[in-house]
């Protein structure tokens, strides 16, 4: 072989080696892209223990609360994709670019991560039993079922003010923080007033099993009302005042309620909720009131006035009672 041919052969070998290395480097330098989603990996989970408070249906005169343990799990996750590289195929006349068609090939053993996301999961851990909470600045304790019966009727007191349509409770636990719950009172319920709002789910009168829907063609003929209370009481006593309504007529009584009037503040302005009564139906509502420790001996006079959907009931149907304070 001549020297000239040998030189050309050496140059050709060098050129091919350079091109091969360039091709490998070019392939390695091609940007990696996300291919098929392979899986979602959980990288971290945060746990926040807490509780939830609800009002339960409890026909009668005493509201009922249910407190449940809850755990909020916050999952931090990332999506895992296969890694692919762009590959240009030779243009044989049918390609969409000058280079030809573009395909993607999977890079063995390599993956790409997507964006991090969070997913929340609320776990119900059952009743929060035998636990202390603070509501209205006072200590309340749940029973073995995680329930609290409001025997003191503290939840009724904000609504003794007729201007109050709703009240917000703050329920506080010593180590698990505080939760808020809204209780509303709707004295004149219409079909169009039904709402999916959470606050509406805790309407006081509805939870007490009382019908305050506005009924068509209501009446009050045959309605009898009775107010009862102890004849005597002493300072510090809890006085039980009960209003009983009986519908002995032939029409529905609608949205019946009472309110006490007295010169003694401890018994004045208390609401008695009776709602709708069907013909032949009878219902009672009780308020428990504490006689002040500094009360003076003497007679306490109380009158209970009544209203229904038709307006104020005649004065002759107002209940009058006397309690002798010792």
The domain segmentation of the chain, as residue ranges, is 223-325
The whole-model pTM stands at 0.77
pLDDT value, residue 5: 59
Kindly give the confidence (pLDDT) of every residue in the chain, 326 residues in length, as a single tens digit, with 9 standing for 90 and above: 566 656 555 555 655 554 544 444 455 556 888 999 999 999 999 999 999 999 999 999 999 999 999 999 999 999 999 999 988 776 665 555 555 677 889 999 999 999 999 999 999 999 999 999 999 999 999 999 999 999 999 999 999 999 999 999 999 999 999 999 999 999 987 755 544 444 445 999 999 999 999 988 899 999 999 999 999 999 999 999 999 999 999 999 999 999 999 999 999 999 999 999 999 999 999 999 999 999 999 999 999 999 999 999 986 777 899 999 99
pLDDT value, residue 188: 83
Q: Which CATH architecture has domain 223-325?
A: Sandwich (2.60)
pLDDT value, residue 224: 94
pLDDT value, residue 196: 46
**Burial bucket for residue 79 (CB in 10 Å: 0-12, 13-18, 19+):** middle
């Amino acid at each position: 072989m001549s020297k000239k041919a040998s030189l050309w052969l050496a140059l050709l070998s060098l050129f091919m080696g350079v091109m091969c290395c360039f091709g490998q480097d070019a392939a390695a330098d091609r940007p990696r892209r996300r291919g098929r989603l392979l899986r979602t990996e959980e990288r971290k989970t945060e746990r926040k223990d807490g509780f939830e408070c609800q009002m339960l249906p409890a026909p009668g005169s005493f509201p009922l609360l249910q407190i449940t343990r809850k755990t909020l799990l916050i999952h931090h996750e990332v999506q895992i994709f296969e890694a692919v590289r762009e590959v240009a195929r030779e243009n044989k006349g049918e390609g969409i670019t000058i280079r030809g068609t573009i395909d993607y090939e999977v890079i063995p053993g390599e993956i790409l991560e997507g964006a991090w996301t969070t997913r929340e999961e609320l776990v119900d851990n059952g009743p929060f039993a035998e636990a202390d909470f603070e509501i209205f600045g006072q200590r309340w304790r749940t029973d073995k079922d995680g329930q609290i019966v409001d025997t003191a009727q503290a939840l009724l007191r904000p609504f003794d003010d007729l201007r109050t349509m709703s009240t917000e409770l703050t329920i506080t636990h010593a180590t698990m923080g505080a939760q808020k719950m809204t209780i509303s009172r709707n004295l004149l319920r219409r079909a169009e007033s039904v709402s999916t709002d959470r606050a509406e789910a805790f309407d006081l009168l509805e939870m007490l099993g009382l019908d305050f829907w506005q009924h068509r063609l209501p009446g009050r003929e045959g309605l009898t009302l009775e107010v009862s209370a102890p004849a005597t009481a002493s300072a510090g006593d809890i006085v039980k005042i009960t209003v009983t309504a009986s519908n002995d007529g032939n029409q529905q009584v609608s949205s019946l309620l009472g309110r006490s009037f007295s010169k003694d503040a401890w018994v004045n302005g208390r609401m008695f909720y009776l709602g709708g009564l069907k013909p032949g139906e009878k219902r009672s509502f009780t308020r428990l009131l504490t006689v002040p420790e500094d009360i003076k001996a003497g007679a306490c006079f109380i009158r209970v006035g009544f209203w229904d959907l038709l307006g104020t009931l005649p004065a002759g149907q107002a209940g009058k009672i006397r309690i002798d304070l010792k």
